[in-house]
Amino acid sequence: MAAKPINVLLTGFDAFEQEAINPSWEAVHALDGWRSGRATVHARQVPCVFGDAIDALARAMDELQPQLVLCIGQAGGRAEFTPERIAINIDDARTADNKGREPIDVPVVPGAPAAYFSTLPIKAMVRDLRAAGVPASVSNSAGTFVCNHIFYGLMHRIATHPVPGQRGGFIHIPYLPEQAARFPGAPSMSLETMVKALRIAVTTALAVKHDIAETGGQLH
């Protein structure tokens, strides 16, 4: 009997804050249709909007019934590919989103737990990324903007609507070089490296069921 196919959902955001592009969508879109063994990647763009981002994610998950979900977001100023450890139940916008929404100190999901941990093998992902020459580290804060918002929404859905074997989490990526050029001194990463890193992250997440215990965080 043929093994059952596996759907992998990757999401990336549309551009925001006067940017013409968002590296999360550029990298995710480049992997749409890519296959790793029995797994096929499906890329979906989500709006950088509180509420709407989680709704778009839910529709994609209903459609695809993915075994693995990786939400990707831009973290301008970071120099590394950073899988996030924890999502917190708070929206505290530093600026308005793409619809002008600017929630301050309100829960993502009222009455839900204070936080959820990623169910991705984040340490193993960092190990494999570094071994492949990609700068990477575990991040312990996804912020309080729409990235953390969708990360929390994803983990809350996985916790409250369990699907056997389903795992998920969030990864922050740096600016693309053409974005960093507008901010002298800001680090960046090429699209080629980002796509390579996502392939590694997906492959590791599919292969590693129990995370490793070793240093994977930043050194500072």
Give residue for tokens 């992998």. 8
Cβ(165)–Cβ(67) under 8 Å? Answer: yes
The b-or-e profile of 94-128 (16+ CB within 10 A means b, else e) is eeebbeeeebeeeebeeebeeebebbbbbbbbbbb
Q: Are strands 115-117 and 86-88 parallel, antiparallel or unpaired?
A: antiparallel
Active site residues: 84, 147, 172
Contact 155, 70 (CB under 8 A): no
Give the three-class secondary structure for 129: helix
Cα 169 to Cα 71, 124, 205, distances in angstroms: 6, 14, 10
